[in-house]
Chain A
Amino acid sequence: MSNKILVKTQLSANVWRMRLDAPLIAKERKAGQFVILRTTCEWAERIPLTIADADPEAGTIDIIFQTVGASTKELSLLNEGEEIADVVGPLGKPTDIKDYSTPGRKGWVVVVGGGIGVAPSHPIAQAFRQAGNRVTAIMGARTKELVIMEDEMRKACNDVIIVTDDGSYGRKGLVTEPLKELCEGEDKPDEVVVAGPPVMMKFASLATKPYGVKTIVSLNSIMIDGTGMCGGCRVTVGGKTKFVCVDGPEFDAHEVDFDNFIKRLSTFKAEEAAHKCRSGLFG
């Protein structure tokens, strides 16, 4: 297992895509799963990242990440040909893919990706379409420059709706607006799958709830091992504690306690700010 970086592309100021040599993961992974990686040295932390794409024949997986902290910053400084110390996966349960088609009507699935949340949405869209459904993507970003994987999403989906906060590309607004419109129609989506920033997932979930449209969110919580051992990723779903790493990462959005989930994400805020200063990676 070499974990070599084969291709590195900068998608926007803070967003990177890497193609890694990881044949075992490429072969086993299914839509919805993720990897955990450690960049280089013995002091690196374990960071979970979704698998945006994979090629089982070539033995490669693609990861997309935003530089939000010291570790992702360090990862972004690695170059093609270099190796990532550790890549483990595929972790988490795969997306529950089914064909919703009935005689005379094709199944209809809407995938919603906010920011780099488009990365996990991509294989999910591919899998639902391959299963026989019609797939609509709603891709949201703050501004045009931050829209990622547009070509691939157009290829994977039947329709793509792009929204930007500032209106610099596609429709001006938030993903919740077109999502609500799609749910309002006579013909409602059979399933909506949402991945993106936690607040956006919360509001997307609220948007579909009045229409009773089945909605799944892909959660990205704090975790260490990713195999059910630390419980750091726990989230309250339907009043019960679940582990994102082994019970998820996908859950029924209408059952998730988003407020607790969002608060828990801030657990190490103070520590991470202090580390950013010390690491010297952030000017």
Chain B
Amino acid sequence: MTAKERMSIPPQEMPQQDPLARARNMEEVALGYTAEMAKKEASRCLNCPAKPCVQGCPVKIDIPAFLAAAAEGDFARALAIIRKNSLLPAVCGRVCPQERQCQKFCTVGKMFKDVAKAVAIGRVERFCADNVQAEAGEKAAPTGKRVAVIGSGPASITCAADCARAGHSVTMYEAFHKPGGVLVYGIPEFRLPKSIVQKEIDGLKDLGVEVVTDFVVGKTRKLADMKKDFDAIFVGTGAGLPKFMDIEGENLIGVFSANEYLTRANLMKAYVEDRAATPYWHGRKVAVLGGGNVAMDAARMALRLGAEEVHLIYRRSEKEMPARVEEVHHAKEEGVVFHTLENAKRILGDDDGRVAAIECLKYQLGEPDSSGRRSPVPIEGSEFVFPVDTVVVAVGSGANPLIASTTPEIETDRKGHVIVDEATRMTTMPGVFAGGDIVLGAATVILAMGEGRAAAEGINQWLAKH
């Protein structure tokens, strides 16, 4: 096929549930390609020699190679190529911000001057992962070394798998009653079905990883005590500490952190009202504060939990929103009302201490700030009030402090992120490594996965010497 022929293949749209129907159910929104669509979409890749897409991938998947295999219909080979660098393609195909990573640099998108017309790398990745049974992969002979992995999110899953493949005996510890970390408590079913996460956890068990739930390292057992039983420890406890805005009225009834709001629905399945014992808040008019993926998840969850109106309030413009473009698009389609360049000033309550309204300020964009985005500047005197009965705060989350606060040997930076050696990913406590959001701050699944992999390498090298 010539480049011209490839360029003439129309971008394959992803089949998805009807927006109004899906806004009231928990089923996955994007339904996935058919094999024919996956082949067509993969055929759009020009296989350009510079491979700019690979430069945009945090874990450097050989994207043109896997797309070439997929274009031929050899999805098994495509998946094998992906899995050389990424352990979680079914997850990353769904949740990676591709338009800012691989697809941002895609030559096809550049030629059309539209990143939305780049090869849909993530969608093809998802098809391969969903439709091919991954091979278990080789496992080295037992080394007799024991590794503890603390946390069970993307960084920990990756580190555990790589350490198990290297022949170490691996035990994974999770504080909740179900493993998966943010993939289970944070990202909703309609964006990432939990059966996919379970498949990854089952894969770990097949590799011989022991998974222990209901175990809070630092509380159930101190990290220093665990060091006596393990030759190396990986800390991947994530960024689970919800941030609030520190505004008046934030402790009224009906104000929730996005973590609480989503955990009730995702992990505790509160929306299955006939069965689940965990209650959820029946909000009618919901304000969600924030502009990231978690804010989108919370806003869209509010619709599914029966809200009549959902208002997303973000102090910058849509261009600066950290959320994936697809999530913003989906949220709008489903009826979430976007209030950009506005920010909550205070939350007003009724006599019973319940949320009654929110007061916001209008903003304009000023000079770029330290994040490189134009900073939001409040417009004085622009206050306005509108009635809501629910406020969900989704303005980010901080490093989980449990391990650092109970393990003085582990040094953290000003924000509580664990400090690691860049080359080995070892913390200031010998034999203890860390990676994922606990090191990076709230980031992405793919970065956490890359970190988990880098830490596993560090652990394997360390164990070869100790």
A interface residue numbers (CB < 8 A to B): 1, 24-25, 28, 38, 42-46, 70-71, 74, 85-91, 224-225, 227-232, 234-236, 241, 246, 259-260, 263-264, 266-268, 270-272, 274-275, 278-279
B215-243 to A contact mask, C-beta < 8 Å, 1/0: 11001111000000000000000001110
Q: Are A264 and B264 in contact (CB under 8 A)?
A: no
Task: Pick from A71, A230, A231: contact of B277, CB below 8 A.
Answer: A71
Q: List 11 A-B contacts (CB under 8 A).
A: A46-B268, A86-B177, A86-B214, A227-B240, A227-B402, A229-B240, A232-B257, A236-B251, A264-B251, A271-B280, A272-B279
Q: Are B221 and A28 in contact (CB under 8 A)?
A: yes
Task: Pick from A86, A87, A88, A266: contact of B253, CB below 8 A.
Answer: A266
Min Cβ gap A114→B in Å is 23
In chain A, what residue has the closest Cβ to B214?
A88
Q: Are A268 and B214 in contact (CB under 8 A)?
A: no
Interface hits, B188-230 → A, CB 8 Å: 213-216, 219-222
Chain B residues in 8 Å Cβ range of A235: 251
Q: Are B281 and A268 in contact (CB under 8 A)?
A: yes
CA distance A272 to B267 in the complex (A): 18
Judged by a CB distance under 8 angstroms, whether B263 is at the interface is yes
CA distance A38 to B269 in the complex (A): 14
Q: Are A268 and B241 in contact (CB under 8 A)?
A: no
What are the nearest 4 A-B pairs in CB distance? Answer: A271-B279, A263-B353, A230-B260, A45-B277
CA distance A275 to B264 in the complex (A): 15
Min Cβ gap A84→B in Å is 10
Judged by a CB distance under 8 angstroms, whether B272 is at the interface is yes
Chain B residues in 8 Å Cβ range of A42: 269
Min Cβ gap B444→A in Å is 19
Instruction: Assess A88 versus B221: contact at CB under 8 Å? Given A70-B277, A267-B281.
Output: no
Interface hits, B250-304 → A, CB 8 Å: 250-251, 253-254, 256-257, 259-260, 263-264, 267-269, 272-282
Q: Are A43 and B277 in contact (CB under 8 A)?
A: yes
Task: Pick from B263, B272, B282, B402: contact of A230, CB below 8 A.
Answer: B263
Task: Pick from B216, B250, B256: contact of A91, CB below 8 A.
Answer: B216
Q: Are A230 and B221 in contact (CB under 8 A)?
A: no
Q: Are B251 and A234 in contact (CB under 8 A)?
A: yes
Judged by a CB distance under 8 angstroms, whether B65 is at the interface is no
Chain A residues in 8 Å Cβ range of B353: 259-260, 263-264
Chain B contact residues: helix, strand, loop or mixed? loop
Judged by a CB distance under 8 angstroms, whether B462 is at the interface is no
Min Cβ gap A77→B in Å is 13
Min Cβ gap B270→A in Å is 8
Task: Pick from A74, A86, A224: contact of B260, CB below 8 A.
Answer: A224
Q: Are A228 and B400 in contact (CB under 8 A)?
A: yes
Chain A residues in 8 Å Cβ range of B222: 28
Judged by a CB distance under 8 angstroms, whether B401 is at the interface is yes
Q: Are B175 and A230 in contact (CB under 8 A)?
A: no
B interface residue numbers (CB < 8 A to A): 175-177, 185, 213-216, 219-222, 240-242, 244, 246, 250-251, 253-254, 256-257, 259-260, 263-264, 267-269, 272-282, 352-353, 400-402
Instruction: Assess A229 versus B216: contact at CB under 8 Å? Given A38-B177, A224-B260, A268-B279.
Output: no
Task: Pick from A45, A88, A231: contact of B216, CB below 8 A.
Answer: A88
Instruction: Assess A228 versus B251: contact at CB under 8 Å? Given A28-B219, A88-B220.
Output: no
Q: Are B402 and A275 in contact (CB under 8 A)?
A: no
CA distance A87 to B177 in the complex (A): 9
CA distance A271 to B254 in the complex (A): 13
Chain A residues in 8 Å Cβ range of B246: 241
Task: Pick from B176, B213, B242, B274: contact of A278, CB below 8 A.
Answer: B274
Min Cβ gap A258→B in Å is 12
Min Cβ gap A237→B in Å is 11
CA distance A237 to B265 in the complex (A): 29
Q: Are B268 and A228 in contact (CB under 8 A)?
A: no
Q: Are B279 and A275 in contact (CB under 8 A)?
A: yes
In chain A, what residue has the closest Cβ to B182?
A229
In chain A, what residue has the closest Cβ to B225?
A28
Q: Are A1 and B214 in contact (CB under 8 A)?
A: yes
Min Cβ gap B313→A in Å is 19
Chain B residues in 8 Å Cβ range of A270: 282
CA distance A25 to B277 in the complex (A): 25
CA distance A229 to B401 in the complex (A): 10
Q: Among the interface residues B176, B214, B353, which one has the most CB atoms of the partner chain A within 10 A?
A: B214
Task: Pick from B185, B272, B402: contact of A43, CB below 8 A.
Answer: B272
Q: Are B275 and A88 in contact (CB under 8 A)?
A: no
In chain A, what residue has the closest Cβ to B218?
A227
Q: Are A25 and B251 in contact (CB under 8 A)?
A: no
Q: Are A45 and B268 in contact (CB under 8 A)?
A: yes
Q: Are A231 and B244 in contact (CB under 8 A)?
A: yes
Chain B residues in 8 Å Cβ range of A271: 279-282
Besides A224-B263, A230-B242, A279-B277, 9 other A-B contacts (C-beta < 8 A): A28-B219, A88-B177, A88-B214, A230-B259, A241-B251, A260-B353, A264-B251, A267-B254, A278-B273
